[in-house]
Amino acid sequence: MAVNPASRTPGADPFVQQPPKVRGPGPIRKAPGHGQPRERDALRAAQLYYLQDLTMEAIARELAISRSTVSRLLSMARRTGLVNIEINAGGAMAPALVRELEHVFGIKVHVVPTDGALADAEVLERVAAHAAHVLNTLVSSGMTVGVAWGSTMQALSLALARKPTHDTVVVQLNGAANPQTTGLTYASEILQRFGATYTARIEQFPVPAFFDEASTREAMWREGSVRRVLDVQEGMGLAVFSLGATEAAVPSQVYRGGYLSAAESTALHSHGVVGDVATVFFDGSGSDEGIEINSRATGPTLAELRKVPRRLCVISGTGKLRALRGALAGNLITDLVLDEGTALRLLNSTPTSNH
Beta carbons of 194 and 145 less than 8 angstroms apart: yes
Domain containing residue 258: CATH number: 3.40.50.1360
Residue 238, SS3 per DSSP: strand
In this predicted model, what pLDDT tens digit does every residue of 175-207 receive, in sequence order?
A: 987 756 555 567 899 999 999 999 999 999 989
Selected residue with higher pLDDT from 54 and 11? 54
Range 119-150 burial, b when 16+ CB lie within 10 A, else e: eeeebbbbbbbbbbbbbbebbeeebbbbbbbb
Q: CA 76, CA 316: separation in Å to the nearest integer?
A: 26
Q: What length is written for the chain?
A: 355
Structural domain count of the chain:
2
State whether 178 and 308 are in the same domain: yes
Number of H helices, E strands in the chain: 14, 13
**pLDDT band at 279, cuts 50/70/90?**
very high
In this predicted model, what pLDDT tens digit does every residue of 59-90 receive, in sequence order?
A: 999 899 999 999 999 988 888 888 877 665 54
Asked if residue 229 has pLDDT above 80, the reply is yes
State whether 41 and 114 are in the same domain: no
State whether 180 and 278 are in the same domain: yes
As a whole number, mean pLDDT of residues 278-291 equals 94
Domain containing residue 64: CATH number: 1.10.10.60
Q: What is the mean pLDDT of the chain?
A: 85
Lowest mean pLDDT segment, chosen from 10-14, 94-98, 104-108? 10-14
Q: Look at the alpha carbons of 243, 246, 249, 251 in this order and tell me if their dihedral is positive or negative.
A: positive
Local structure of residue 318 (DSSP, 8 states) = G
Range 199-237 burial, b when 16+ CB lie within 10 A, else e: ebeebbbbbbbbbeeeeebeebeeeeebeebbebbeebb
* Domain span holding position 58: 19-84
Domain closes at, from 49, 84, 119? 84
Is residue 9 assigned to a domain?
no
State whether 206 and 267 are in the same domain: yes
Beta carbons of 328 and 105 less than 8 angstroms apart: yes
Beta carbons of 170 and 200 less than 8 angstroms apart: yes
